[in-house]
Amino acid sequence: WRVDVDLNGDLDDSALLESHDEVGLVGVDSEVTFNNGVEGGAVLNPVKFEALVVEDDAVNQRGNPYAYELQPFPRGIARHAEAWCQDDVWVTRYHGNEPGVPSYWTDPTAYLLGTSANPAGIFNGESIQSEDVVVWYRSPIHHSPHDEDQSPADTGNTYSGLTLTHWTGFDLVPQNVFNFNPLGAPDRSQCP
């Protein structure tokens, strides 16, 4: 997935890695600058509820920065041999001349990792602090062939039918974008 989160305009966004650690009976939440403030990738640890946060320099009426949190919901973790399969999320600095996701399959090394011949993606190692950033999220899915994939005419077990739909992705959750619950909430007197 390519997610270009432009909060309060396309500039002044930074990436953070949010984490939750259980220390005894106490949960400790933390946010650290993603990849020391430069383009790169990271593995999101589901045990620590890790998520990527894109935060703007601007603040809301309560003085908190506008942000969106990318919360993954993977069914599994795929780590294939390709370099771009080793991380779950990447953050790059947006450049209009760098390729985005092509309309046909292209090796993500070309537009995500970059090379000396094609210095795009994270290859540049540019700052992602207070910049226009792009988030790249890899959400793996696994399918084991089964009878429901077969056409009724497929009597030779060649699995020549259609695979049923699988869903994968992430939630993009607002943080401090609204000054209060935009859906409304009961009055405090109604809450026990």
Concatenated DSSP letters for the chain? -EE---TTSSSSEEEEEEEEEEETTEEEEEEEEGGGGBSEEE---GGGT-EEEEEEEEE-TTSPEEEEEEEE--SS----SSGGGS-SEEEEE--TTS----SS---HIIIII--SSS--GGGG--B-SSB-EEEEE---------GGGS-TT--S----S-PPP----EEEEEESSSSS-TT----GGG--
Q: Is the pLDDT of residue 64 over 80?
A: yes
Q: How many CB atoms lie within 10 A of CB 156?
A: 8
Q: What is the mean pLDDT of residues 46-61?
A: 92
> Where residue 141 falls among pLDDT bands split at 50, 70, 90?
confident
- Model confidence over 66-83: pLDDT tens digits? 999 998 877 777 778 888
**Total-model pTM:** 0.79
How high does pLDDT run on average in the chain? Answer: 84
Q: Rounded distance, CA 90 to CA 56, Å?
A: 18
Sign of dihedral through CA atoms 116, 117, 121, 124? positive
Beta-bridged to residue 42, according to DSSP, are: 89
Q: Rounded distance, CA 69 to CA 3, Å?
A: 12
Q: What's the order of all strands across the beta sheet hosting 65-72?
A: 26-33, 13-23, 51-59, 65-72, 170-175
Q: Which residues lie closer than 8 Å to 111 by C-beta, 6 or more apart?
A: 98, 99, 100, 101, 102, 120, 121
pLDDT score for 30: 94
pLDDT above 70 covers what percent of the chain? 92
177 backbone φψ class: left, alpha, beta (φ>0; ψ -120 to 50): alpha
> Where residue 2 falls among pLDDT bands split at 50, 70, 90?
confident
